[in-house]
Structure 1
Amino acid sequence: MESRRPARFRRACGFHAVDEGGALRPAGRIASRFVGHSIGRACSFLRRRPHLPSGSAPMSHPIAIDVLLEPDPVTQARARELNAALRADHPAGFAFDATHLPHVTLVQRYVYEHDLDALLAGIASVAETQNPLALSLDVTGVQVRVDGDTGSASWRIAPSPALQALADDCLATAQALAIAGGTAEAFVRNDDGSPIRDSTLRYVERFVPDHSGANYAPHLTLGHARAAFLRELEVAPFTAFAFAPVAVGVYQLGNHGTARRGIWRWPGRTPDPGARP
């Protein structure tokens, strides 16, 4: 099949060069996914929040948080280029901009605002111990999810023992403070006033166990497009590449699991009690 995509689009997608007839060469198979370490590392300095007796002061506002890895600038630029190509096919999809960060999720949870200081201290300790900036993340292909006429595309990232250990330790920290039953009020509101999708709420609620531990599948979501475009993208040849994270961050989530509002970043600044959504 002749490729009608411009060269810049093919580079952003990781396509191989085309042959003389303009056809894309077939891609290789993706290696099977490594099943990582089990959840369970605990942070000794964190304690579980005690149950409040009847008549106690109400809890503060719950927020949906994403503990994430921030890619290097070159990888971010590549993700933004592909995001623009996806939006050209489906303009209603989200755009990477100042309030939508390309990222690799480590854990998503609902927590109370008044527990953010403990969360940030715990994640800082994990980062100091694990040294996540030494990681090399291998992008092995494009994966898509189709729901009706549209869907999403993401880069598949190969699991590794070091990445799994980092995700597990961040999860143990967040899980000690996690709460259930988050609502749309826990998220950054959509700019156009549309509601937060129920699927977004469920994803955070069910991150444990559906997307953690042995079910952790690292990826970088690239955007949304129409189903036909996504299916073409999924089968197109892909050149694997690697990148290193430049920071660990804690963000308040938006619709579709987007990283909307930065709360804290390591390295670069220490946990700031005034940094609130």
Structure 2
Amino acid sequence: MKRNFLIAFLLILALTHSCGENQDKIIAIDVLLTLPEDVYDQAVHLNQSVLKNNPNNFTLDDQHIPHITLLQSYVKESDLPEIETLLVGLYKTIADETFVVDQLQYAKDKNKSFASMGMEKSEALMALHEKVIGLLKPYSVSNGSQVSYVQNEDGTPIDDFTIAYVPKFVSDYSFINFNPHISLGVGETTVLDSLAQHHQPTKFKAPALALYQLGNFGTARKLLWESK
């Protein structure tokens, strides 16, 4: 009898611990603006041009969508329903706003450089960026890890830079330091120089505000929520 009671107690304890672990799972998220088809295709094309000379890169596709990050953060997975509720209605504040991709950004004095499609920091974009940070601040945590991300298909670990970058997004890369952009990857400067010569400013409206789980190198991998 005592033995059966002990077994039952241990099973309950194990189940309770398992449920607690699931509730407290930490995930890396990206609150972002999606792109219209023409700008999406332009980003994919530029990314492919970068990949030709530097294949050790991320590939933009329907599993790694080009986007404009507003906030990256670690949060508890159990808090996602509340976070999604807070994001409802925010898209309406920028639905009619026209955004501008005005330059190809990269370090011209290096042999290789991270490249992106840089954007104008409009008042509407900055206001949305700051609003999202304020709403999600109570849910932000700092103890993310490898398992917080959508894993790489080839089994390689999530890059250490990515894991360290996310908890510093607000302190180091937001507000006055916010640089809205569409990431393209790391390319040879000679290639980027050539691409920059043909780059033209592009105006567009963002189709949606979305919440994604991050993958390696800050890629938007898993759609969690999207405005309607």
- For the criterion TM > 0.5, the same-fold answer is yes
Partner of 2:213: 252
- The aligned residue for residue 36 of structure 2 is 72
Q: Which amino acid aligns with 1:140?
A: D
1:189 equivalent to 2:189? Answer: no
Letter in 2 for 1:259: A
CA deviation profile, 1:48-96 (whole Å, cap 9, x unmatched): xxxxxxxxx5552100000000010111111111111111111221111
Cα displacement (A) at 1:237: 5.5
Does residue 157 of the first structure (1) align with residue 114 of the second (2)?
A: no
Question: Against the structure 1 CA distance between its residues 163 and 176, is the aligned structure 2 distance closer, same or farther, given a 3 Å change threshold?
Answer: same
Identity score, percent: 32
Report the equivalent of 1:33: none
Give the structure 1 partner of residue 204 of structure 2: 243
Q: Deviations over 1:216-238 (max 9, x none)?
A: 111111223234433x2576363
* Residue 95 (structure 2) pairs with residue 133 (structure 1): yes
Secondary structure of 1:114 counterpart: helix
Calculate the aligned-residue CA RMSD, in Å. Answer: 2.0
Question: Aligned residue for 1:86?
Answer: 50
Match of 2:138 among 170, 176, 181: 176
The question of whether the paired residues in 1 share the 8 Å contact of 2:26 and 2:143 is answered with no
* Alignment gaps of 5+ in structure 2: 1-19
CA drift at 1:127? 2.7
What is the SS of the residue equivalent to 1:245?
Answer: coil
> What is the aligned residue count?
208
Residue of structure 1 equivalent to 2:170:
208
What's 1:105 paired with?
69
Provide closer, same or farther for how the CA distance between residues 233 and 170 of structure 1 changes in structure 2, counting only shifts above 3 A: farther
CA distance in 2 between counterparts of 1:62 and 1:165 reads: 27
Is the alpha carbon distance of 1:237 and 1:99 closer, same or farther for their aligned partners in structure 2, counting shifts above 3 Å? closer
Indicate the residue corresponding to 1:262 in structure 2: 223
Letter in 1 for 2:57: G
Residue 143 of structure 1 contacts residue 234 of structure 1 at CA under 8 Å; is this kept in 2?
Answer: no
The whole-number CA distance in structure 1 between the counterparts of 2:176 and 2:55 is: 35
Question: In the alignment, is the contact (CA less than 8 A) between 2:31 and 2:209 conserved in 1?
Answer: yes
SS in 1 for 2:71: strand
Preserved CA contact (<8 Å) 1:142 1:233: no
Distance 2:113 2:147 in 1: 25
Report Cα offsets for 1:212-259 as digits up to 9, x if no partner: 1121111111223234433x2576363212111001110000111100
* Structure number with higher helix proportion: 2
In structure 1, C-alpha distance between the alignment counterparts of 2:195 and 2:156, rounded to whole Å: 29
Instruction: Provide the C-alpha distance between the structure 1 equivalents of 2:226 and 2:77, rounded to a whole number of angstroms.
Output: 17
